[in-house]
Amino acid sequence: PLPGYLFISVLVNSNSELIRLINNAIKSMAEAFAGEIPKILVAGDTMDSVKQSAALCLLRLYRTSPDLVPMGDWTSRVVHLLNDQHLGVVTAATSLITTLAQKNPDEFKTSVSLAVSRLSRIVTSASTDLQDYTYYFVPAPWLSVKLLRLLQCYPPPDPSARGRLTECLETILNKAQEPPKSKKVQHSNAKNAVLFEAISLIIHHDSEPNLLVRACNQLGQFLQHRETNLRYLALESMCTLASSEFSHEAVKTHIETVINALKTERDVSVRQRAVDLLYAMCDRSNAQQIVAEMLNYLETADYSIREEIVLKVAILAEKYAVDYTWYVDTILNLIRIAGDYVSEEVWYRVIQIVINRDDVQGYAAKTVFEALQAPACHENLVKVGGYILGEFGNLIAGDPRSSPLIQFNLLHSKFHLCSVPTRALLLSTYIKFVNLFPEIKTTIQDVLRSDSQLKNADVELQQRAVEYLRLSTIASTDILATVLEEMPPFPERESSILAKLKKKKGPNTVTDLEETKKERNSDMNGSTEATLVNASTASTPSPSADLLGLGAAPVTNSFPPPSSSGSLLVDVFSDTSANPASLAPGSEDNFARFVCKNNGVLFENQLLQIGLKSEFRQNLGRMFIFYGNKTSTQFLNFSPTLICSEDLQSNILSFDPTVEGGAQVQQIVNIECISDFMEAPVLNIQFRYGGALQNVSVKLPITLNKFFQPTEMGSQDFFQRWKQLSSPQQEMQNIFKANHPLDTEITKAKIIGFGTALLEDVDPNPANFVGAGIIHTKSSQIGCLMRLEPNLQAQMYRLTLRTSKETVSRRLCELLSEQF
């Protein structure tokens, strides 16, 4: 068979009819003996080499024709091959189990403890113990990588295996610091392969702060490594670490190294990853520095990545704008430096923001007027200038240097150099000027009359000129003022700039979910802190609860879009426009991880990834749900439904029911807590994939503690209130064994994440933790006091919750106990 196989693979074209016939013959043969392979694999008397071949054969069959490999009794037995003495069998079995576990995680969850045990034996062994499987002084690197990948199919293991796994990962990180045992490149490649896979597992679990910070520091050492591939991989992994609340600050310490890479790196792919990392590590403390560096790099950046950098700068400038004059300056700089790469989404957005913020309108008009003085202006600057001066030119008209006539002449000097859509927008500016500046009405009418009479003129422009001229002639002053009054603030609406960036990045749902990284100490005031990062995809433009509040406006006040036709006064930003299963396997474990945090991946299987970013303030909440299609096939009739108790009111916004292969869409859920509740809402998702109806149900992590407002108080006030809440119905206490080693910093982080204020120097015993907060509902406010007493010797906790309501005390005690 082997010579025949080689002959076919080398000499026969893969598209030939012969290949199809051969495939059909092999498939028929496979169907005939597929049921026997699992039996051979798990039989006790099968030779090691045959077991190895059987595992690889079954893996190949499952990948090509999964229907030929039914699950059965053999699945529980194949897991035990991870304990086999023959490492060749273990390696093949690990590949098989990893693939099977991705689709059927519950069937193979017992593999976690066995994989940890086997990994521990490899990591702690000397290279001489695994002589046949040691590659350039690295013990069984291929098997180690496969075991680490298998563990990434599951959440962090139970406490009995977690400690051992943590030791393995720490050992791998320690070995990375040791001097190399060989100068051969094969040694470093094998060693680094295991290291990077271990870091991927640490990032996947996102539960051990010490490991995350150590991983970040290790990757930081690779940022200046002479090997280009290592620099690239380090930057890529650090992008993911930047999204973790535990390691974000550690990533930020490497900002100067990353900026230097942006300036000096010769490889364009590494420079692009450096841009990605700067974007990922950006927060309010370093936004202006990072945006400035990106703008500097943009002037010499490769053309292939300029549009992506423009989008990222626009996103960061809006998200972290405290002073909106800085935001306006940044966008105008973008247009000046890379105007060809500034999409409509970007300049639309700056106009939306200026219209919605009175404090920046005068500055925007003055700045754009000055920018238009340049002899050569990019057309996008003319669009922005036309729109902003048409709305707010009156705010600078008192200065003789920017009088109404000078503003008009400045814009009209650009008119004949622009494309038809931009000229159409400028005509709309002119009719706005008729209302703002009656003293130049005659001058504008002359221009409109001239344009309406041009031969061979564009029909769209001619129609505009005719209708605007007629409007300015027959309408009274009052009617003109009504029709052409200043644009009102836009209602709530999502931005589409981030969607544009995602489309540019390609179908990588993990990267998209990283855009939802936690913004520390965020609140839900009127700022744009969380606006752009929460943008929808271009295919889902429905109005939403965007924090800026931007959306469609009355058509009578709007400029025409560049590509509009027909009616002249159309809205440039208008929109042109929906039985739960049992909970999905593994979703309960992930749910518990969200009790003390708001962002991350809630659920993932082989088809779908669900990520969350949430914000809560008093009795209101907003959750951004990201649905990622991990396949190359469309999801059709994609329909999420939210089921919640009457104590919660929710509003879930609909979107296009088709999710393209490799794409990600966003949905916003607005929540109001009416009264205290016990059960979290259930999100049921139905869609068709490959003709089959899929049904996924997960609990959304909207728990009672999300509606906490932390309350600061001193020791005397705390214990006075503590005594007032002393009846048995008001207190709930739980004494329990710790699931993890007692760590003061982690405990503090969880209490703060739970929602209460962490009160320092209140408890007489400094080892204890106390907290206070108020649960806000529409119908009432419920005060809560918390006391957590650790016993280091016994590795136990005593948790006491006191509130004015028994059910609330019980529920909060349950939720917080699970975290420890």
Mean pLDDT over each residue of the chain, to the nearest integer: 82
pTM given for the model: 0.60
Higher local confidence (pLDDT), 346 or 128: 346
| pLDDT, average across residues 490-500 | 62
pLDDT of residue 372: 95
CB 583 within 8 A of CB 682: yes
pLDDT of residue 745: 83
CB 630 within 8 A of CB 681: no
Q: Is the pLDDT of residue 485 over 80?
A: yes
Number of H helices, E strands in the chain: 32, 16
| pLDDT, average across residues 676-695 | 87
Q: Which CATH superfamily is domain 587-702 in?
A: Gamma-adaptin ear (GAE) domain (2.60.40.1230)
Cβ partners under 8 Å of residue 626, min gap 6: 509, 512, 513, 516, 609, 610, 611, 612, 613, 664, 665, 666
- C-alpha 136/C-alpha 190 separation (Å) is 8
Q: Is the pLDDT of residue 746 over 90?
A: no
CB 530 within 8 A of CB 615: yes
Q: Which CATH superfamily is domain 705-818 in?
A: TATA-Binding Protein (3.30.310.10)
Find the radius of gyration of the CA atoms of the chain.
Answer: 31
pLDDT of residue 556: 31
Structure tokens of 23?
Answer: 């495939």
Give residue limits of the domains in the chain. 302-502, 587-702, 705-818
pLDDT of residue 500: 65
Cα diameter, the chain: 100
DSSP type of residue 659:
B
* pLDDT tens per residue, range 135-160: 888 899 999 999 999 999 999 998 88
Q: What whole-number percentage of the chain has pLDDT above 90?
A: 36
Higher local confidence (pLDDT), 69 or 309: 309
* pLDDT tens per residue, range 286-339: 999 999 999 999 988 888 788 889 999 999 998 888 888 999 999 999 999 988
Structure tokens of 161?
Answer: 């295996």
Helix H or strand E encompassing 84: none
* pLDDT tens per residue, range 456-480: 678 888 899 999 999 999 988 888 8
Structure tokens of 485?
Answer: 């009054």
- C-alpha 270/C-alpha 234 separation (Å) is 10
